[in-house]
Structure 1
Amino acid sequence: MSVVVNRKGRRARLVQVALLALGAGLLPLGHLPALAQSSGLVLRIGYQKSASLLALQKSQGTLEKRLAPLGAAVQWVEFPAGPQLLEGLNVGSVDVGFVGEAPPIFAQAAGANFVYIGNDPAAPEAEAIVVPKDSAIRSVAELRGKKVALNKGSNVHYLLVKSLEKAGLKYTDVQPVFLPPADARAAFERGAVDAWVIWDPFLAAVEKQTGARILADGRGVVNNYAYYLAERGYAERHPQVIRALFEDTLDRGRWLKGNLKQAAALIAPLQGLDVSVVELSLQRYQFGVVPLTPAVAAEQQKIADAFAELKLIPRPIKIADAVLPWRVARAD
């Protein structure tokens, strides 16, 4: 027993010394994860390159610094899109993930084990239906019978459903072509599809680089919330880690919105995009994670009910079953 206590004491002193050295500029950030790993606590974050704020946090190492006093390390795991990220969360390769509205609904319907822990504010302008600049299509109603590319199970799936409904069409009135963003962009440019439903920064990129026209974005149609999800057991065991994640996200989000040009310059090379593309994308996103509220959960339930009615998911689900009955982070 005395050996364990001594080890804990030495570990605590190591972390304290590391933090003092960091504050004095004597120790680079890269040393902190190695020290934190000695506790065995790791936060594995599933993210997409398109998630600009997380990309910024990863590049600046701010989360690693914030978690070091807790003895926790950070591991970043990149996924091409939300559905794949949810698969990773379900099989235990990540502890926390950040996705749009639809992926968690498809995952919950398939029996995935996760919980909602927070959401960013609505960003309806950050997703849209686009057509080539010289397309004869001028309205959503003119998509009847057309091929529409989208990433199956992503947030834009619901945007397409509701936009068609608003235009007096049914989901079955179009020909969905399920493609991940890179393949959809290629199909869009060569004319293999008539329209593309996509989110930022891919949306901003196709606008800036090809002159694609927006037929409709989410305004007046969908909220386009983004959600933070966690493996249930991890969230229950380590609320202090989730709280630190939220605090860092809030801090970096405020900095980003107050320094758009500088933030875009930092994020652009990480996403392989022009600075102007990233800046346009950042203007349309909102940052400010808060714990999930009953009102937001009710909005998510509406999407789940719509997908169940359209037989897009195998069974109806209750969003409340995937929401923790307690808060793991402050709303401020």
Structure 2
Amino acid sequence: MHFSLLQSPLLRPLLRWTAPLLLAAFSLSATAQATAPSTLRIGFQKSASLLTFQKSSGSLEKKLAPLGVAMKWVEFPAGPQLLEGLNVGAVDVGFVGEAPPIFAQAAGAKFVYIGFDPAAPEAEAIVVPKDSAIKSVADLKGKKVALNKGSNVHYLLVKALEKHGLKPSDIQPVYLPPADARAAFERGAVDAWVIWDPFLAAVEKQSGARLLADGRGLVNNHSYYLAERGYAEKQPQVIQALFDDTRAQAAALKANIKAAAAVIAPLQGLEPVVVEKSLTRYQFGVKPLTAAVAAEQQKIADTFHAQGLIPKPIRVADALPGSATVAEAAR
């Protein structure tokens, strides 16, 4: 005769007491596995000097270890590619300039703003060769201008042209990533280049490129920390650890820019003096988004739509944190 242990009169009282406990323990274990990620995947650009400095120090790995979270750094050539990585789930958090989120949101990408860095208008500019006949932005009419489409400098170009009575259609945009744009610029295939630091500092020093206009009086050039919305809302403790470490590394960098440049330079393939110059033009220290900064992003979105650069109007508010814990982590 078949006999089940579960039917034993000796085990029935024990099961009445232990079954709920076992179920609770299983539930807690499953919840912990669901809410404690094993790895934080950060999308970054090698040109993002603070994150490159942070990565080299290994400080974030140490900060996350008590949470049982490992680190994975995923490098991208520029912001638009990083946003695509965030949209397809290749990374959890990313750091980009002000324009890429606008283009990405217009394309239907799902993300949330979780923090921003202070304005750095001098860290991006329109440059021309040192012997160029072009003397002002107005002279760019009909000229070939290289830029990384959808990057932070896209908005700088639009605003600079607008200030001089021109539209994007008045120039010939040549969309190239930084390395290809530098090559095109130096061989004379384009007339001007719109670029950010440290590439800006490099072409100024190494090629004698002449500044036509930087962001001062035109744009703020904020940088943003973005995350997949579900990740941001479920992992505020990880974001808190990320921001705590980011602030600490920013303070260390600013306290000794020369030493930081010596660390960063070989990782970016640049001379320390070039990196040092670029670091002086950036301000670091992640903060929670304010209504004023969100309004600035909305202005960029409205400008891009009016210029036909994005196919539809967007609401930046739709990509703002929906959880108080997310905003609190940035404080």
Q: TM-score, normalising length from structure 1? A: 0.88
- 1:244-303 residue CA offsets vs partner (Å, 9 max, x unmatched): 111111110011011100000000011010000000010001101011111101000000
Unaligned runs of 5+ in 2: 1-20, 30-35
Letter in 1 for 2:287: V
Divergent runs of 4+, >6 A: 1-6
* 1:297 equivalent in structure 2: 294
* 1:192 equivalent in structure 2: 189
Letter in 1 for 2:219: V
Letter in 2 for 1:88: G
Shift of 1:143: 0.7
Distance 1:201 1:250 in 2: 20
Distance 2:183 2:140 in 1: 20
Letter in 2 for 1:85: L
Aligned equivalent of 1:230, options 227, 230, 238: 227
Contact 1:123 1:286 in 2 (8 A): yes
Q: How does 1:161-176 map to 2 (within 5 A)?
A: 161-176=158-173
- 1:197-245 residue CA offsets vs partner (Å, 9 max, x unmatched): 0000000000010000000000000000000000001001100101111
Letter in 2 for 1:272: G
Shift of 1:324: 0.7
User: What SS does the corresponding residue of 2:133 show, helix, strand or coil?
Assistant: coil
User: What SS does the corresponding residue of 1:284 show, helix, strand or coil?
Assistant: coil
* 1:142 equivalent in structure 2: 139
Aligned equivalent of 1:121, options 94, 118, 122: 118
Shift of 1:41: 2.1
Distance 1:313 1:323 in 2: 19
Identity %: 75
* 2:98 equivalent in structure 1: 101
Q: What is the number of equivalent residue pairs in this alignment? A: 304
Letter in 1 for 2:49: S
Aligned equivalent of 1:83, options 80, 83, 92: 80
- 1:22-67 residue CA offsets vs partner (Å, 9 max, x unmatched): xxxxxxxxxxxxxxxxx75211000000000100111110000011
* 2:180 equivalent in structure 1: 183
User: What SS does the corresponding residue of 2:280 show, helix, strand or coil?
Assistant: helix
* 1:257 equivalent in structure 2: 254
Aligned equivalent of 1:60, options 52, 57, 74: 57
Shift of 1:4: 11
Letter in 2 for 1:280: K
Distance 1:139 1:258 in 2: 37
Q: TM-score, normalising length from structure 2? A: 0.88
Q: How does 1:246-285 map to 2 (within 5 A)?
A: 246-285=243-282
Distance 1:213 1:53 in 2: 26
The alignment status of 1:316 with 2:313, answered yes or no, reads: yes
Distance 2:166 2:313 in 1: 23
Contact 1:290 1:330 in 2 (8 A): no
Contact 1:291 1:327 in 2 (8 A): no
Q: Which moved more, 1:162-171 or 1:122-131?
A: 162-171
Unaligned runs of 5+ in 1: 10-38
Give the aligned CA root-mean-square deviation in angstroms: 2.0
Determine which structure has more spread, i.e. the larger CA radius of gyration.
Answer: 2
Aligned equivalent of 1:47, options 44, 47, 51: 44
Distance 2:308 2:23 in 1: 59
Letter in 1 for 2:252: W
Shift of 1:330: 4.9
